[in-house]
Amino acid sequence: MAAVFFRGFVVDVVSNVSGLTIRNKSIDDYKSLVTSKSLKSLPRNTAIVKDITRGAAKNSGKELICYPFFSSHISMPLKPGEIVWFIFEDPENQGEIAYWISRVSEPNHAEDVNFTFASRTYSQSPEIPAKTSAEKFDGPSTPSEITQTFSFKSPTGKSNELTDVVTNFANKIHRFESVPRYNKRLGDMVIQGSNNSLIMLGEERGHFSAEPTMSVNRNDIPSGSAAIDIVVGRGKSSATSATKIKNELEIEENNKRINNPTEGDAHFPTDASRVYLTAKSDDVTASYHPDNLLNILVMPSDKNLGFPILSAPGSLVVSKADNLRLISRESGSIRIIKEQSSGDINGAAVLLHEDGTVQISGNRVMLSSYNSGTGATEPYVRYTELVSFLSSVMKDLQSFCATLVTHVTPGFGAPSPQITAAATTLLLKVTTKQAQLETAALGIGSTTVYGE
């Protein structure tokens, strides 16, 4: 029976239609493989493959043009040296153009989201080889970390072709690294890139403890709410990281013959960056509630308000990273708003207006520390009331000084020269300050910050 799905060894990828290919060849070199003028216009992500179905490439070095099967709305990752499934529109009458669907999924001991060395599938044992008697008692004669072997056994007639493709081309444009494997639930939709980026559409889950021991992606966990997890840089903790190892060319990757149940799990304390959305996180006591996953144990407090709620019910959006940025264009604005209830004054907002004005609104604005013993207890003064108060004090001083200068004590003659001089000096200074206060010359009124 003729094959419907074919296996292709990828030797090159057209990633840029206006320049050289990954193998540093001109696209015109590949156009010569096609006679139809319209089909010579190769789309981006076209793969150049050698057919290795049933050992075909052992006898032929013919290269084949494979358009991407999916439209440009979905562009699958692909590197030279990997194996893909490809098909013809009509298997009985194969044309000049085939269509590659995706990289071939290999057994667990070979499959790798970063780069899959398919040659290990039938050459390498799925399990770690048992130690020989000599190794048990004397140790290995040549200790080495390199145990991911049979990586570069070529599937084509050229014995060194896979090694050349990986070292001379793929290694120049692809970052080989150890990427933790992800365990999903049955109903999840998961999209992964080659370099530790992931989008999960499913339900709430995640670790908050420093060293989790049980996977949170198992199917018997109580159902949470709908969730979307967008994360980069998983596996930063020892519990969720992959066991790293090197292959024959000292390229680092996962030791896929070691299976850690918590490898790649969502770990909110240590994963590099994430955006996490939930639909209805009403169980505030659940370990998978977003606030509990964030493991925020201390919040700013105030003895008049008490401690804020650590775990709030409802839908949540969480962003966490080493550094967060929220930027609008120069002609735009930013609005952070907490809606108010109907008839209640419990709304709050931070508005950054188009003209550069920063507006902070709320029932009460507090600047406080994490010190629960003090909190924000001192109110800020109002400028108008302060000016009015200082002005009245100065007028009282002026009146008092004027009285001292003209006052005559009965039976003791004229006022004391020292008192008169001091009162005159003080009256002059107070009068000057009074004038400055009324014209805002003292500068106690901010020209930038305004309140109630």
Please report, in tens digits, the pLDDT of each residue of the chain (452 residues total). Answer: 577 899 999 999 998 888 888 888 888 889 888 888 889 999 999 999 999 998 766 767 789 999 999 999 999 999 999 999 999 998 888 888 999 999 999 999 999 999 999 989 988 888 887 766 665 566 555 444 567 888 888 888 888 999 999 998 998 889 999 999 999 988 899 999 999 999 999 999 999 888 888 887 766 656 678 999 999 999 999 999 999 999 888 888 999 999 999 999 999 999 999 999 999 999 888 888 999 999 887 777 666 666 667 888 999 999 999 999 999 999 999 999 999 887 777 889 999 999 999 999 888 887 777 765 566 667 788 888 888 888 888 888 888 888 888 777 766 666 678 888 888 888 888 888 888 887 765 677 787 777 77
Q: How much is the pTM?
A: 0.85
Do 284 and 359 lie in one domain? The reply is: no
Closest CA to 120 of 97, 79, 95, 151: 151
Q: What per-residue confidence (pLDDT) applies to 362?
A: 86
* Count of Cβ atoms closer than 10 Å to residue 123 Cβ: 13
- Bridge partners, residue 84, by sequence: 8, 103
Domain presence at residue 136: no
Give the C-alpha distances (Å, rounded to integers) separating 417 from 299, 378, 400, 408, 429.
63, 45, 16, 12, 19
Do 362 and 231 lie in one domain? The reply is: no
Q: What per-residue confidence (pLDDT) applies to 306?
A: 63
Say if residues 184 and 234 touch (Cβ distance below 8 Å).
no
Q: What per-residue confidence (pLDDT) applies to 142?
A: 47
Domain presence at residue 220: yes
Q: What per-residue confidence (pLDDT) applies to 431?
A: 86
Per-state percent for the chain, helix, strand, coil, to nearest 5: 20, 20, 60
Closest CA to 384 of 445, 318, 442: 445
Q: What per-residue confidence (pLDDT) applies to 115?
A: 95
Domain presence at residue 137: no
Do 297 and 204 lie in one domain? The reply is: yes
Domain presence at residue 236: yes
Do 427 and 368 lie in one domain? The reply is: no
Q: Which of 80, 95, 120 is the last residue of a domain?
A: 120
Do 203 and 314 lie in one domain? The reply is: yes
Domain containing 361: what range? 330-376
Do 10 and 108 lie in one domain? The reply is: yes
* Count of positions (residues) in the chain: 452
Q: What per-residue confidence (pLDDT) applies to 19?
A: 81
Do 407 and 287 lie in one domain? The reply is: no
Do 204 and 315 lie in one domain? The reply is: yes
Do 182 and 107 lie in one domain? The reply is: no
Here the tokens at position 211 are 């060293």
Domain presence at residue 352: yes
Domain presence at residue 89: yes
Q: What per-residue confidence (pLDDT) applies to 373?
A: 58
Q: How many domains does the chain have?
A: 4
Q: What per-residue confidence (pLDDT) applies to 137?
A: 62
Domain presence at residue 61: yes
Q: What per-residue confidence (pLDDT) applies to 451?
A: 79
Say if residues 234 and 264 touch (Cβ distance below 8 Å).
yes
Domain presence at residue 153: no
Do 303 and 414 lie in one domain? The reply is: no
Do 369 and 273 lie in one domain? The reply is: no
Do 207 and 304 lie in one domain? The reply is: yes
